[in-house]
Chains A and B, each alone.
Chain A
């Protein structure tokens, strides 16, 4: 079974600075998808960024980018120019290309200091 590990329960960043959230996963599959979701205090899960495993190019969405290292099974999220509104729980997720299973990491709580 696939597992997703987020080793940082909490992270803190100064407003306007850059922060990187770590995520590793374990799988024997060759084709899959990786996601970062944000869950603010409202508890609404919001898709931040998505990466297809077959793509070598790292996905980017405005201030959010990933460092996808397939061989190392690592999928970190970089948030540039951090804003107060970025404060939330961030979940890394793995989805198999062969079924609908999506597995979430335990989450990282990000605090942004003004």
Chain B
């Protein structure tokens, strides 16, 4: 099956610093990648949709200046949490859409990044 990697798997940073998370599709080209946030014992909440070569589309309530997304190639998307604060501590998951027949894309997920802001 399709493989998506995410790096780093966990990061601890000081309040006010910026953190970059990378998401890569390893064996397929993903025109669209997605960034989710998951709080403990909760479901996944879509933060933004990232399309290669264009600006990301952010969900309502997600600050685009806070969570910078760059989709530089068909296999790489990055999420930068700028000026991180303790409330940004969470589990961040990316997914990449692999085109399926009849245009129905299946999303494959990275292993997630656990962010802890002190």
Chain A interface residues (CB < 8 Å from chain B): 33, 35, 37, 42-47, 50, 52, 91, 95, 97, 100-107
Report the nearest B residue to A98, measured CB to CB: B103
Closest B residue, CB atoms, query A53? B104
Total number of residue pairs linking A and B with CB closer than 8 Å: 51
Chain B contact residue count (CB 8 A cutoff): 23
Name the prevailing secondary structure of the B interface residues.
Answer: strand
Query: How close is A45's CB to chain B, nearest CB, in angstroms?
Result: 4
The answer to whether A42 and B43 have CB atoms under 8 Å apart is no
Contact A47 B1 (CB under 8 A): yes
27 of the cross-chain contacts (CB-CB < 8 Å) are A33-B104, A33-B106, A35-B106, A35-B107, A37-B109, A43-B38, A43-B91, A43-B93, A44-B112, A45-B95, A45-B109, A45-B112, A47-B106, A47-B108, A52-B104, A95-B104, A95-B105, A95-B107, A100-B32, A100-B34, A100-B97, A100-B105, A102-B107, A104-B43, A106-B42, A106-B43, A107-B42
